[in-house]
Amino acid sequence: MATAQKAAAPLRRAAGPATGPRPGRRRASLVPVLLVLPYTVLLLAFGLGPAVYALWLSFTDATGGFAGVDNYARVVQDFRFPGAARHVALFVGLWLVLLVVLVVVLALLVHAVSRRWVGTALRFAYYVPGALAGASSVLLWLFLLNPVASPAAPLLRLLGYESFNDTIQPTNLPVVFALIAFWTGAGGWILVMFGALNNIPDDVMEAARIDGAGPVRIAWSIQLPLIRKWVTYMVILSLAAGTQLFVEPTLLSQASNAVVPNDYSLNQLAYQYAFSLADFNGSAAISVLLLVVSLGLSSVFVARGGLFDTDAS
């Protein structure tokens, strides 16, 4: 119990070197800096640098001159923009709920399986779809969503769909994308959560059981608080991934020969701007807008999830 409470009340510390008492003879060691140095180099080269460049692009025109907010104004006024923004919002709402609830539940259930081989088999079954990505799954969804050739045909027929084009009507798309994204993405997160649950010391769980707590109560009062950081991390990354919706509509666009448009989501629109219209500035503007939204939403979860706090004992 004590551990759970400790984890739930993280101690916030100011940035910078610790001010607390330290073993006297040693000054701040260089080792931590050396440990993060290689990563920092990569971060600058392939993360921060490109991001700053994109930011710069979004405020300049094709010849490199300062453009103010022209790029932003142009992309927001694009007739496709409002629709794409609505699509993304719908998708993110649906998918995030689906993902968080089901991943946590499934991870708890997998963790509760007592037979080792069953647990392994379940993790495997849940994970395998994650190995299929991009081009590999175009074919799969072309058939899966077809009421005539799909193994899920009875279900599709039950819902009143007679043909592939029926299934992918515009109103169905957010659900379809959420299902595809869940199918491919959930397994990985179940693995992460499973690992996190495994990290909870046996004695904590044992103590709770001796106290007479049932599996549901243990999950709610002990396991969940202890994996809170992981859940926060999942929410933030999934939020970002959700706002960057790209793969699912792109593959259905391919499978349906463009009945699902290739500018369905904002990120696809950014892609179209860059590579179809050769307008890298407009593209960068959309990306920056997406980033701002993700950051705003994420900061809420970061603050509430204690993600940056080191676990102080």
Partner 1 sequence: MSTLTRTGTRPARRPTAGGAVAALVHAVFVVFFALPLLWLLLAATRSGASLVRDAPLSPGSLGQLAENWRSLVGFQDAAILTWVGNSAYYSLAALALTLLVSIPAGYALALTRFRARRTLLLTTLVVMLMPNTALVLPVFLEMNAVGLIGTAAAVVLPFSFFPFGVYLAYIYFSSSISRSLLEAARIDGCGELRLFLHIALPLSAPVVALVGFFSFVQNWNNYFLPFVMLPSSDDYPVQIGLSALLSSTPAFNPSAAGAAVIDLPTLALATIVSVLPVLLVFAFAQRFLVTGLTAGGVKG
Partner 2 sequence: MFISPHPARRRRVLVLATAAVVGATALAACGSGEDVAAPGAGASGAAGSAGSGGITVWVDASRAPAAEAFLAANPDADVEVVSYDGSANGSDTFKTRMNLYDQAGEGWPDVVFSTQNNDASWASQATPGNEPFAAVLDDGLVDPEVLEGFTEGSLDPCTVEGQVYCLRNDLAQVVLWYDQQLMDDLGYEVPTTWEEYVELSGRVAAENPGVITGSVGDAWTPEVFMWGSRCPANQVTGPRSISVDATAAECVRAAEVIDAGVADGSLTTLSVFAPEFVQEYSEKVLMMPGPAWFAGAIFNNPDSLALPEGRLGVAAPLPWEGEEAVTGNVGGGTWFVSSHSENPELAADFVEFVTTDDAYQVEQAPGYPAYAPAAEKWLAQQEESGYYATDLSALTEAGSVIWDGWGAPAFSQEAVWADTMTPLVTAGGSVVDNLDTWGEAIRNEAQVNGYTVE
Which residues here bind partner 2, judged by CB under 8 A? 31, 34-35, 37-38, 41-42, 62-63, 78-80, 112, 114, 116, 119, 143, 146-149, 163-166, 169-170, 202, 205-206, 209, 215, 253-254, 256-262, 274-278, 280
**Smallest distance, partner 2 to C-beta of residue 80, A:** 7
With CB cut-offs between 5 and 8 Å by kind, which of partner 1, partner 2, none does residue 164 bind?
partner 2
Q: Is residue 305 a contact partner of residue 231, using CB atoms and an 8 Å limit?
A: yes
Considering beta carbons, is residue 19 or 29 the nearer one to partner 2? Answer: 29
Q: Among partner 1, partner 2, none, what binds residue 312 when CB lies within 5 to 8 Å by partner kind?
A: partner 1
**Closest distance between partner 1 and the C-beta of residue 257, in Å?**
8
For the CB of residue 206, give the shortest distance to partner 1 in the complex, in Å: 11
- Minimal distance, residue 27 CB to partner 2, in Å: 18
Residue 270 interacts with which of partner 2, partner 1, none, CB < 5 to 8 Å by class: partner 1
At closest approach, how far in Å is the CB of 275 from partner 1? 9
Q: In a 10 Å sphere around its CB, with 0-12 CB exposed, 13-18 middle and 19+ buried, how is residue 76 labelled?
A: middle
Nearer to partner 1, 94 or 286 (CB): 286
Among partner 1, partner 2, none, residue 265 binds (CB under 5-8 Å by kind): none
Q: How many CB atoms lie within 10 A of CB 243?
A: 22
Q: Which is nearer to partner 1, 54 or 90 (CB)?
A: 54
- Binds 43: which of partner 2, partner 1, none (CB < 5-8 Å by kind): partner 1
Contact 4/199 with Cβ under 8 angstroms?
no
Shortest Cβ 132–partner 2 spacing (Å): 19
Task: Give the nearest distance from C-beta 96 to partner 1 in angstroms.
Answer: 14
> Residue 64 or residue 201: which is nearer to partner 1 going by CB?
201
- In the bound complex, what is the minimum distance in angstroms from residue 71's beta carbon to partner 1? 12
Q: Which residue, 184 or 256, has its beta carbon nearer to partner 2?
A: 256
DSSP string, the chain: -HHHHHHHSPPP--SSS--S---TT----SHHHHHHHHHHHHHIIIIIHHHHHHHHHHTB-TTS-B-TTHHHHHHHHSTTHHHHHHHHHHHHHHHHHHHHHHHHHHHHHHHH--SHHHHHHHHHHHHGGGG--THHHHHHHHHHT-TTT-TTHHHHHHTT--SHHHHT-GGGHHHHHHHHHHHHHHHHHHHHHHHHHHTS-HHHHHHHHHTT--HHHHIIIIIHHHTHHHHHHHHHHHHHHHHT--HHHHHHHHHTTTSS-TTSSHHHHHHHHHHTS--HHHHHHHHHHHHHHHHHHHHHHHHHHTTT-----
Task: Compute the C-alpha angle 201/205/207, nearest 5°.
Answer: 115
The tokens describing 21, both together, are 């008492």
Q: Indicate the residue among 173 and 266 with the shorter CB distance to partner 1.
A: 266
Would you give the end-to-end CA distance of the chain in angstroms?
A: 14
Q: Which is nearer to partner 2, 20 or 38 (CB)?
A: 38
17 binds, among partner 1, partner 2, none (CB under 5 to 8 A by kind): partner 1
262 interface partner picked from partner 2, partner 1, none, CB below 5 to 8 A per type: partner 2
78 binds, among partner 2, partner 1, none (CB under 5 to 8 A by kind): partner 2
